[in-house]
């Protein structure tokens, strides 16, 4: 087998399993060369240079954006493809109505047919990675085999990639096997298949984001959620944020919002000038692995080491830290360009696009200059507010869990669940307008329980049962809340300014956790009164605030009946505790 000539020292002794698997994939895919990734800066620099030479990457204006590059994906390959994503379990019911399902033998045959000979003329990269701090008992390793150097560079930013991960795999023995090829980038020959019972992923025909960076949604959510159910923990689509209050208390909060609904922005929140003394730091922006601790609390780690974030909307007013973070050593995908080679996207008030995301002269008739799902990939170390606790192998203890969605009506700015089981209903009831993060229509409300609809690797009914069981093991569970930053007025304007101002809502939640803040009871849970929120320096009218904190029983009766209809497809597998919570809410609304 060919080895990488650039390696100065030999890679760690491989486990037999790793060597056999890589060799079998080599025989199937027939690459011209095999490159074992060691994860050094020099290796990534060389791969980047190679892609610049071949024209796949473009150097951006190096004076303004040092170390930054632009990648343009195929125009038909710009987002996750949920309709082509499958969970292949022996029993169809284990995947549930929330997943596309295929029989594992049939799926393997289909995928192996696509992979046969697909790397001829290409290099096969072996990418060992660790999700979570290398010394954390909660971290898990995987190996992604890919024929895309762009994927390798992304994985180097997004995970602990290379030699140390391979060493951990050699010690532990188990790892998730991810096989990826960009294939022909033909949407008709594109599948993202998961085999949770075999800890295996096979992804063919896409080079984009969650379809191709297999450590992220495929491993850290779909496969990990399955393992977490078996082993008694949770793998969730949640940001993790650290908040120090002016009183000097430190709290950690996890929040699940659907794709492109504000996780990165909340994880990197900048306190408004009128809330002095608050300090906010980031633990993670997309995924949390959460374990019950010996103290009866939940403890969470961020399995990732970088951010694959939404570019449009990022500017000095919405989030200066994110804006500054992506001015250096950042890989941009599908943004537009200015005259002098700087990246440009919708939401910037400076600069002018001249080349659109597809490389054409910019013409507004063709739609936005940057793709609405254009992304930045950047190491978490570039975040000026990256918390040192993100590297703590024990993780951080959670004071609160927040669920949220993008709703122009119905859901108020914030409400609090009555207790854990009611909180599971609140999470299971998340509904949100679809976004450009997945292929399909944008702006239609769909049910997205716990923001996991595209990511739960097993039957949602079993998942809710697991959530309820987790709660019964906690003597000190986090409080559960729901937020909606996206309520609109009759003219379609956002009622709430969002971004940094969201801290006012979080501050109320933390006061609820310590028993200091007031609230009123409503049929859906506890809401703050206007006077319970810190509104000093906030530029929102009293009318708008009251509207934001209104629960309309008629709309909520409709919401409850939608939820009932949604649960019906899961039949009597739905845990009785969840049905009981829905019934109680219906009674309170009657």
Q: Which residues are catalytic?
A: 261
State the nearest-atom distance from the C-beta of 210 to ligand SPV, in Å: 3
Task: Indicate which of Mn ion, ligand SPV, ligand GTP, none lies near residue 318 (CB less than 5 to 8 Å, by partner kind).
Answer: ligand GTP
Q: Between 210 and 353, whose beta carbon lies closer to ligand SPV? A: 210
* Of positions 176, 192, 223, 261, contacts ligand GTP by CB under 6 A: 261
Give all strands (DSSP E) within 196-276, no chain letters.
200-204, 234-236, 239-244, 250-256
Is residue 553 at the binding interface for ligand GTP, with CB under 6 A as the rule?
A: no
Is residue 330 at the binding interface for ligand GTP, with CB under 6 A as the rule?
A: no
CA distance linking residue 103 with residue 111, whole number of Å: 12
* Of positions 128, 183, 207, 209, contacts ligand SPV by CB under 6 A: 209
State the nearest-atom distance from the C-beta of 259 to ligand SPV, in Å: 3
Kindly state the helix (H) or strand (E) to which residue 483 belongs, with its residue range. Answer: strand 479-483
Q: Between 452 and 524, whose beta carbon lies closer to ligand SPV? A: 452
CA 538 to chain centre: 30
Which residues between 276 and 295 bind ligand GTP (CB under 6 A)?
A: 285-286
Contacts of 96-104 spanning 24+ positions with Cβ under 8 A: 96/456, 96/458, 96/459, 96/460, 96/461, 96/462, 96/570, 96/573, 97/459, 97/460, 97/569, 97/570, 98/453, 98/456, 98/459, 98/460, 99/456, 99/457, 99/458, 99/459, 102/193, 104/195, 104/197, 104/198
Is residue 147 at the binding interface for ligand SPV, with CB under 6 A as the rule?
A: no
Which residues between 210 and 269 bind Mn ion (CB under 5 A)?
A: 259
Name, in order, each residue with C-beta under 8 angstroms of 301's C-beta and a sequence gap of 6 or more.
132, 133, 136, 138, 139, 284, 288, 289, 392, 393, 395, 396
Task: Indicate which of ligand GTP, ligand SPV, Mn ion, none lies near residue 80 (CB less than 5 to 8 Å, by partner kind).
Answer: ligand SPV
Question: In the β-sheet with 400-404, what is the strand arrangement from edge to edge?
Answer: 279-284, 239-244, 250-256, 400-404, 479-483, 414-416, 525-527, 520-522
* Of positions 310, 400, 517, 533, contacts ligand GTP by CB under 6 A: 310
CA distance linking residue 198 with residue 187, whole number of Å: 26
Please choose, from the candidates 416, 420, 424, 444, the residue with its C-alpha nearest in 3D space to the C-alpha of residue 551. 416
Q: Between 289 and 362, whose beta carbon lies closer to ligand SPV? A: 289
3-state secondary structure of 187: helix
Strand-pair partners of 379: 306
* Of positions 217, 263, 447, 482, contacts ligand GTP by CB under 6 A: 263
Is residue 479 at the binding interface for ligand SPV, with CB under 6 A as the rule?
A: no
Is residue 485 at the binding interface for ligand GTP, with CB under 6 A as the rule?
A: yes
Is residue 494 at the binding interface for ligand GTP, with CB under 6 A as the rule?
A: yes
Q: How many CA atoms lie within 13 A of 182 on its CB side?
A: 19
Name, in order, each residue with C-beta under 8 angstroms of 211's C-beta and a sequence gap of 6 or more.
77, 80, 81, 85, 190, 192, 203
State the nearest-atom distance from the C-beta of 375 to ligand SPV, in Å: 7
Please choose, from the candidates 354, 361, 324, the residue with its C-alpha nearest in 3D space to the C-alpha of residue 337. 354
* Of positions 498, 534, 557, 584, contacts ligand GTP by CB under 6 A: 498
CB environment 310-344: b (16+ within 10 A), e (fewer): bbbbbbeebbebbbebbbebbbbbbbbbbeebbbb
Task: Indicate which of ligand GTP, ligand SPV, Mn ion, none lies near residue 265 (CB less than 5 to 8 Å, by partner kind).
Answer: ligand GTP
Is residue 85 at the binding interface for ligand SPV, with CB under 6 A as the rule?
A: no
Greatest Cα pair distance, the chain, in angstroms, is 72
Is residue 332 at the binding interface for ligand GTP, with CB under 6 A as the rule?
A: no
CA distance linking residue 238 with residue 233, whole number of Å: 14
Residue 11 is classified by DSSP as P
Q: Environment class of residue 551 by beta-carbon count within 10 Å: exposed (0-12), middle (13-18) or buried (19+)?
A: middle
Residue 502 is classified by DSSP as G
| Contact (Cβ atoms closer than 8 angstroms) between residue 478 and residue 256 | no
Is residue 207 at the binding interface for ligand SPV, with CB under 6 A as the rule?
A: no
* Of positions 144, 285, 286, 416, contacts Mn ion by CB under 5 A: 286
Which range of residues in 138-146, 258-266, 519-527, 556-564 is near ligand GTP by CB under 6 A?
Answer: 258-266
State the nearest-atom distance from the C-beta of 402 to ligand SPV, in Å: 16
CA distance linking residue 230 with residue 215, whole number of Å: 20
State the nearest-atom distance from the C-beta of 93 to ligand GTP, in Å: 29
Residues in the chain: 590
State the nearest-atom distance from the C-beta of 451 to ligand SPV, in Å: 8
Q: Between 238 and 582, whose beta carbon lies closer to ligand SPV? A: 238
Is residue 481 at the binding interface for ligand GTP, with CB under 6 A as the rule?
A: no
State the nearest-atom distance from the C-beta of 538 to ligand GTP, in Å: 14
* Of positions 43, 144, 147, 286, contacts ligand SPV by CB under 6 A: 286
Is residue 318 at the binding interface for ligand GTP, with CB under 6 A as the rule?
A: yes
Task: Indicate which of Mn ion, ligand GTP, ligand SPV, none lies near residue 333 (CB less than 5 to 8 Å, by partner kind).
Answer: none
* Of positions 26, 35, 72, 80, contacts ligand SPV by CB under 6 A: 80
Residue 477 is classified by DSSP as P
Which residues between 437 and 456 bind ligand SPV (CB under 6 A)?
A: 437
- Using CB under 6 A, count the residues that bind ligand SPV: 9
Which range of residues in 14-22, 85-93, 210-218, 442-450 is near ligand SPV by CB under 6 A?
Answer: 210-218
Is residue 216 at the binding interface for ligand SPV, with CB under 6 A as the rule?
A: yes
Which range of residues in 25-33, 118-126, 263-271, 561-569 is near ligand GTP by CB under 6 A?
Answer: 263-271
State the nearest-atom distance from the C-beta of 380 to Mn ion, in Å: 15
Residues that bind ligand GTP (CB under 6 A): 257, 259-265, 285-286, 309-310, 312-313, 318, 437, 485-486, 494, 498-499, 502
Residues that bind ligand SPV (CB under 6 A): 80, 209-210, 216-217, 259, 286, 308, 437
């Amino acid at each position: 087998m060919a080895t990488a000539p650039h390696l100065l020292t030999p890679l760690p002794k491989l486990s037999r399993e790793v060597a056999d698997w890589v060799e079998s994939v080599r025989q199937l895919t027939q690459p011209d060369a095999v490159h074992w990734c060691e994860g050094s800066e020099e290796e990534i620099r060389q791969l980047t240079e190679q892609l610049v030479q071949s024209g796949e990457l473009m150097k951006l204006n190096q004076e303004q954006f040092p170390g930054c590059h632009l990648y343009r994906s195929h125009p038909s390959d710009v987002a996750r493809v949920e309709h082509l994503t499958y969970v292949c379990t022996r029993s169809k019911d284990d995947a549930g109505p929330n997943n596309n399902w295929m029989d594992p033998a049939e799926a393997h045959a289909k995928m192996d047919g696509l992979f046969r000979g697909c790397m001829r003329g290409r290099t096969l990269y072996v990418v060992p990675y660790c999700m979570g701090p290398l010394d954390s008992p909660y971290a898990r390793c995987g190996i992604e085999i890919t024929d895309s150097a762009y994927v390798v560079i992304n994985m180097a930013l997004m995970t602990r990639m290379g030699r140390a991960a391979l060493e951990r795999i050699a010690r532990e023995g188990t790892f998730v096997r991810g096989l990826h090829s960009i294939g022909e980038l033909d949407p008709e020959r594109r599948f993202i298949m998961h085999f949770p019972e075999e800890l295996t992923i096979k992804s063919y025909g896409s080079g984009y984001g969650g379809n191709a960076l297999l450590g992220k949604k495929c491993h850290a959510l779909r496969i990990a959620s399955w393992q977490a159910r078996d082993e008694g923990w949770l793998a969730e689509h949640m940001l993790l944020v650290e908040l120090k209050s002016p009183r000097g208390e430190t709290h950690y909060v996890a929040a699940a919002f659907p794709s492109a609904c504000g996780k990165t922005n909340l994880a990197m929140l900048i306190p408004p000038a009128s809330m002095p003394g608050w300090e906010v730091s980031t633990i993670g922006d997309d995924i949390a692995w959460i374990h019950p601790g010996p103290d009866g609390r939940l403890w969470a780690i961020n399995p990732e080491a970088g951010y694959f974030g939404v570019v449009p909307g990022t500017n000095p007013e919405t989030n200066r830290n994110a804006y500054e973070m992506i001015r250096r050593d950042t890989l941009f995908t599908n943004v537009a360009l200015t005259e002098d080679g700087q990246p440009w996207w919708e939401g910037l008030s400076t600069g002018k696009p001249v080349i659109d995301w597809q490389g054409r002269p910019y013409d507004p008739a063709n739609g936005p200059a940057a793709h609405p799902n254009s992304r930045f990939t950047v190491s978490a170390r570039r975040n000026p507010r990256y918390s040192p606790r993100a590297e703590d192998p024990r993780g951080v203890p959670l004071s609160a869990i927040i669920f949220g969605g993008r709703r122009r009506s119905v859901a108020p700015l914030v409400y609090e669940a009555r207790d854990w089981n009611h909180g599971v209903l609140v999470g299971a009831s998340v509904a949100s307008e679809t976004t450009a993060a997945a292929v399909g229509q944008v702006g239609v409300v769909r049910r997205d329980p716990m923001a996991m609809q595209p990511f739960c690797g097993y039957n949602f009914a079993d998942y809710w049962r697991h959530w309820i069981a987790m709660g019964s093991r906690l003597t000190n569970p986090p409080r559960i809340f729901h937020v909606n930053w996206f309520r609109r007025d009759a003219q379609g304007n956002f009622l709430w300014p969002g971004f940094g101002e969201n801290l006012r809502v979080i501050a109320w939640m933390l006061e609820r956790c310590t028993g200091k803040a007031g609230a009123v009871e409503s049929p859906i849970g506890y809401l703050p009164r206007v006077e319970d929120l810190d509104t000093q320096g906030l530029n929102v009218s009293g009318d708008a605030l009251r509207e934001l904190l209104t629960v309309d029983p008629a709309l909520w009766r409709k919401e409850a009946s939608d939820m009932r209809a949604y649960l019906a497809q899961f039949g009597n597998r739905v845990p009785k505790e969840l049905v009981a919570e829905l019934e109680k809410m219906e009674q309170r609304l009657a």
